[in-house]
Chains A and B, each alone.
Chain A
Amino acid sequence: MATAEEVAKAAERRDVRDRWLLSAPALLVILLAATGPLLIVLVYSFLTPGAYGDVKWQFSSDAWTSVFLERDIFDDTLSLAAAHVTIFWRSIKLAVVTTLATLALGFPTAYFMATRSEKTRDLWLFLITIPFWTNLLIRTFAVLQIIRNEGIINTILLKLGIISAPVQILYTDTAILIGMAYVYLPLMVLPIYASMEKLDFRLVEAGYDLYATRFKVLRKIIFPLVKPGVIAGSILVFIPALGAYVTPSVLGGGKNMMLSNLIELQFGQGRNWPLGSALSITVMIIVMVALLAYVRNAGQSGVRHG
């Protein structure tokens, strides 16, 4: 005779088993076409490059060495790989500046949206969502049209007589920055708006009652309360900006390499798949560190504000 407890336990076991069966197809597809291949990249980063791309199955740590160091072809000494360091530095710098630029523009925008009447808020949200879901390549292409030498910025400046020759913006780091800030702006606005919408304006009112200035209210009340949204937005912008491929290759014109272009090069003309793999893993590590910092920060602010 099974006791009631045993029956309940069996039912629970059945439930958990059913839940595993139900989630199996999704897990399998992701494992096969997303997670698994990442592990292969890790393995590849420890192999020897083949002559025509791909790899020779022979252990080598050369790829990892050459992520940051290069071996002198004459005397075999190691020195800092200037080209790689430059590209890493440029990518990180561009990603950070993009994040700051979108924050500077996105924070006030989210604040503006959250302080509209309840009816019009949906409309503003809709207006932010439209560019967000518009193809990133098309948006980058739209920016290209604006900033190129014959684009409207240069045309207007020329017509107004402010400049006598077109300003070269396209194919510079500035172009990449403008493009990335443009395409990732909605990613910053949306999470900040989400936490701003929940902001209790009675706290702001209390601040003013206690003679706080507008700036002080912003700094001491509003900002700390929407900080989780700010951090989420920064992470959402930083990660794709660091690995950005489309925007740098369209607006940077191939001269101003970023990490993604460097990785692509190793799998293409460079024919050094292990190095490409090691570089990919390095990008992943930077992303993981950023995510970890986010999780820790989000956890802390969660405790502070209940």
Chain B
Amino acid sequence: MASNFSIKHQPGFTAIAATCFVVLYLPIVVLVIYAFNAATSTSEWGGFSLKWFQSAYQNTQVIDATLRSFQIGAIAAVLSTIFATMAALATTRTASYPGLTFKYAAINQPLMVPEIVTGVALLIFFSRIKIFTGYSGLGYLVAAHTAFCIPFAYLPIRARLENMDLTLERAAADLYATPWKTFRRITLPLLWPGILAGLMLAFVISLDDVVITEFVKSGGQDTLPTYMLGQIRRGITPEINAISTAFLLLSVAIVTLFFFVSRKRD
């Protein structure tokens, strides 16, 4: 056998992996490049320009949808992270007790159901409530987003709690700290990176949602993704490229931040 025999090598695997990474990034790169295309047509290159970003910025529908996305995302992320933190504290570092399995199942339930099913379920439920109460504000979207963000916020917080040493909390208790003081001064600071990661994850998940929002929203409640879906169905415009690129950069920024926050685990 050849002298450069490596036990980790499998023929063709590196080539496939390389193809995968190229294929994953190629469409995104093309999308970004064409966002800077000066031409009005999306099929030819007419030189570098920022005019489509400017045009998107001056489009009040785009700005409204973006602000609505951020508003819903921020509220849903904060609420779901608070609830997920409480739930994580209630379901970790304990011997099994009646209802614990039920809690795991309930918290993870939104992950198990295809989005389309959750979408129509909420459409039915909320349309009834709308008739009953007459309220048709953003509350429904916030509630729906909070619900499906909870399992995502829960994951990193629970992971961090489970890896956390109990010694410091016991020491605090031994030194007559009240449970609340122990939580605020010991547990919370140690848990903070997990909470931050959960918050960012929840925000990205809320920002990305198309399907459930599409079914739950009332008229004039487009978020950025549902606005884009409507536009893409109507035909491709260079403006959509610019909006996608801006959205993409934002997601990448949040994910990069998340990556570094959750890396600092040790």
A and B from one assembly? yes
- Give the CA-CA distance A305 to B44 in the complex, in Å: 56
Do A133 and B255 touch across chains, with their CB atoms under 8 A apart?
yes
> What is the 8 Å Cβ interface bit string for chain B, positions 148-170, against chain A (1 contact, 0 not)?
10100010000000000000000
Do A240 and B114 touch across chains, with their CB atoms under 8 A apart?
yes
A-B contacts, CB under 8 A, total:
254
Q: Distance (Å) between the CB of B6 and the closest chain A CB?
A: 9
Task: Tally B residues with Cβ within 8 Å of A.
Answer: 90
**CB-defined contacts of A246 to chain B, threshold 8 Å:** 210-211, 229
Do B26 and A146 touch across chains, with their CB atoms under 8 A apart?
yes
Decide yes or no whether A7 CB sits under 8 A from chain B: no
**CB-defined contacts of B123 to chain A, threshold 8 Å:** 267
Do B109 and A37 touch across chains, with their CB atoms under 8 A apart?
no
**A141-B240, A243-B115, A267-B123 are contacts. A19–B97 as well, Cβ < 8 Å?**
yes
Do A141 and B31 touch across chains, with their CB atoms under 8 A apart?
yes
Do B20 and A185 touch across chains, with their CB atoms under 8 A apart?
yes
- Give the CA-CA distance A22 to B19 in the complex, in Å: 48
> What is the 8 Å Cβ interface bit string for chain B, positions 127-152, against chain A (1 contact, 0 not)?
10000000000000001101110100
> What is the 8 Å Cβ interface bit string for chain A, positions 198-241, against chain B (1 contact, 0 not)?
00010011001000001000100000000000000000000110
Decide yes or no whether A145 CB sits under 8 A from chain B: yes
Q: Please report which residues of chain B, range 18-53, place their CB below 8 angstroms from some CB of chain A when the two chains form the complex.
A: 19-21, 23-28, 30-31, 34, 42-43
Most buried by B among A21, A32, A37: A37
Which of under 10, 10 to 19, 20 to 34, or 35 or more describes the interface residues of A? 35 or more
Which among B57-65, B188-196, B244-252 touches the partner chain? B244-252
Do B12 and A108 touch across chains, with their CB atoms under 8 A apart?
yes
Name B residues whose Cβ lies closer than 8 Å to a Cβ of A: 7-14, 16-17, 19-21, 23-28, 30-31, 34, 42-43, 79-80, 82-84, 86-87, 89-91, 94, 97-99, 103, 106-107, 109-110, 112-125, 127, 143-144, 146-148, 150, 154, 204, 207-208, 210-211, 214-215, 225, 228-229, 232-233, 236, 240-241, 244, 247-248, 251-252, 254-255, 258-259, 263
Which 6 pairs between the two chains have the least Cβ-Cβ distance?
A243-B114, A112-B17, A142-B27, A150-B43, A37-B121, A22-B90
